[in-house]
Amino acid sequence: MIIDYITAILAINSDANVQMEGNSYEGIEWNDTPVISQADLEAKIEELQADFEAKQYARDRATAYPSIGEQLDMIFHAGLGGDEFQAAIQAVKDAHPKPAE
């Protein structure tokens, strides 16, 4: 993901009312919004881009983890959920048994 001027503007001023033509500072139209300098915007873009890149591990993990349902099933089958958890899951399994194969 590449952080753009609009993202930086909104990170600085979430109420900003701007329009943009193209992807250059000169293309920003400040509609009743205090103008933010190009230097300040570029510094914010750099900050946001660095933050985004630093959190790549979290995006990688999110797609690599098993689904929540699969994780809960693992906990149940390993008997690690505690008595209340085990009883609640077993009650659902008993009420809705898996068809015989």
Residue 59, token pair as written in the block: 């995006």
Average pLDDT over the chain reads 95
Alpha carbons 41 and 12: distance in angstroms, whole number: 8
The Cβ of residue 99 has, within 10 Å, a number of other Cβ atoms equal to: 4
Task: Check pLDDT > 90 for residue 1.
Answer: no
Tell me the mean pLDDT in the region 49-59: 95
The SS3 of residue 20 is strand
- The model's pLDDT over 61-91, given as tens digits with 9 standing for 90+, comes to 999 999 999 999 999 999 998 999 999 999 9
Say which residues have a Cβ less than 8 Å from residue 30's Cβ, sequence separation at least 6: 18
| pLDDT for 101 | 81
26: left (phi over 0), alpha (psi -120 to 50) or beta: alpha
Tell me the mean pLDDT in the region 20-38: 95
Query: Which residue matches tokens 């890149």?
Result: 53
Alpha carbons 88 and 78: distance in angstroms, whole number: 15
